[in-house]
Amino acid sequence: MDYDLLIEKAKEAREKAYVKYSNFKVGAALLAKSGKIYTGCNVENASYGATICAERVAFTKAISEGERDFEAIAIVSSGKEIAYPCGICRQFMSEFGLDLKLIFTDDNKIETYKLYELLPHAFTEFEPKVEGGS
């Protein structure tokens, strides 16, 4: 797929951000393997812990519509440099596959990574080993 459309959708989403406190806008566009694109923007809150990042907004919209398999996500910000996902977003996205392609741009350059490159030791589902247990 040509990721230019995904980047454009992320830029459109960025303009809808609610950033009353930081004035730092982020937009994300998530491509599901079904071909559908889900967008998200950051939504801040006076109780900073209640703030939600653009990446998680896009994912929760997609998940609430039944999507579970994803190909790529484009992420753009209003900053002068590329903004990478926070740790919570990296962990959240890992639930749906460490092979997810991440696309970033600051309008001057485009960088792409696989999620496992940004989160090399992700906490993933595992079966705990019980020694000598019943």
Locate 127 and state its tokens. 């079966």
The active-site residue out of 8, 55, 71, 117 is 55
Is residue 55 part of the annotated active site? The answer reads yes
Numbered residues of the known binding site: 42-48, 53, 86, 89
Contacts of 47 (CB under 8 A, 6+ apart): none
Pairing of strands 37-41, 70-77: unpaired
Numbered residues of the known binding site for Zn(2+): 53, 86, 89
Q: How far apart are CA 42 and CA 26, in angstroms?
A: 6
Locate 80 and state its tokens. 């002068």
Numbered residues of the known binding site for substrate: 42-48
Locate 48 and state its tokens. 């900073």
Catalytic residues, by residue number, are 55
